Amino acid sequence: MGAKMSFDVEAIRREFPALQQEVNGKPLVYLDSAATALKPRSVIDAVSEVYSRDCANIHRAVHTLSQRATAKYEGARDRIVNYIGASSRAEVIYTKGTTEGINLVAHSYGLDRIKEGDEILLTGLEHHSNIVPWQLLARRTGAKLVVVPVRDDGDVLIEDFEAKLSERTKIVSVAHVSNALGTVLPV
């Protein structure tokens, strides 16, 4: 299921100010983006612009700064809706990160809808933050955690994935790219 990609590593590194430093005489390599992603210059500049010019609560006031902040906030949501092909703005929510998002789904949707005998499908490539919430949910509800195996080459085959899907599968939660191996799943 993995895909091979080619890109200019140095060009990408130049976009990230944090990667312009050396550690122990070698270029910094940062592999913990699942916890906190480094920010490219464009993001740093955009955030600085908001804090410098439009820092105000959104959806709370009619003054100029609030109106501009709200427009930027909702404009970003509209761009995300278009980018991912969502059918409505209500399908896009903001969270602090993936871990919070997974926990919100597990503790709201999951607790409300997952019952004994239901299945939650993961792969063996998942980050700890995409395993523990589902383990806790399965334990609490009596659901079964089903794990698609990782092949010796670090890949997950679609056939293996399809073989684990069943009528009892109620949640599928997989990472697009494995933080451990770099395997890219075609989600």
Residue 162 has pLDDT above 80, yes or no: yes
The answer to whether the predicted template modeling score (pTM) of the entire model surpasses 0.85 is: no
Residue numbers of the domain that contains 159: 98-172
**Segment 102-154, tens digit of pLDDT:** 999 999 999 999 999 999 999 999 999 999 999 999 999 999 999 999 999 99
Tally of domains within the chain: 2
Residue 112 domain-assigned? yes
Can you read off the two tokens belonging to residue 58? 């959104």
Q: Are 115 and 86 contained in the same domain?
A: no
Expressed in percent and rounded to 5, the helix, strand and coil fractions of the chain are 45, 10, 45
DSSP-derived secondary structure for 101-125 = HHHHHIIIIIHHH--TT-EEEEETT
CATH of the domain at 102: 3.40.640.10
